[in-house]
Amino acid sequence: METIYDEIEIEDFTFDPITQLFQYPCPCGDRFAVSLDDLQDGEDVAVCPSCSLMVRVIFDPEDLKEYEDQLN
């Protein structure tokens, strides 16, 4: 069973249209990351690659349209 460290609103993440990653600072100094594709597929957990903490991304599917538009 996964343990979620926190729940973070999608608006608090930084979106990079080049890598298509949402990132948010982790307490360890690295960044939680989750891809736009993962969110579109219903995956709502961002993982820190350094310490393996996880946060749940709070969003509505229609919120993703704003970010999809940045890719065009």
Residue 56 near residue 43, CB atoms below 8 Å? no
Say what the pLDDT of residue 70 is: 87
Of the pLDDT bands very low, low, confident and very high (cuts 50, 70, 90), residue 71 is confident
Task: List the domain boundaries for the chain.
Answer: 6-60
Return the CATH number of 6-60, one of 3.40.50.720, 3.10.660.10, 3.30.1360.80, 3.40.50.460.
3.10.660.10
* Whole-structure pTM value: 0.90
Q: Using CA of residue 69, residue 67, residue 58, residue 36, what is the dihedral sign? A: positive
pLDDT at 1 over 70: no
pLDDT tens digits along 2-57? 799 999 999 999 999 999 999 999 999 999 999 999 999 999 999 999 998 999 99
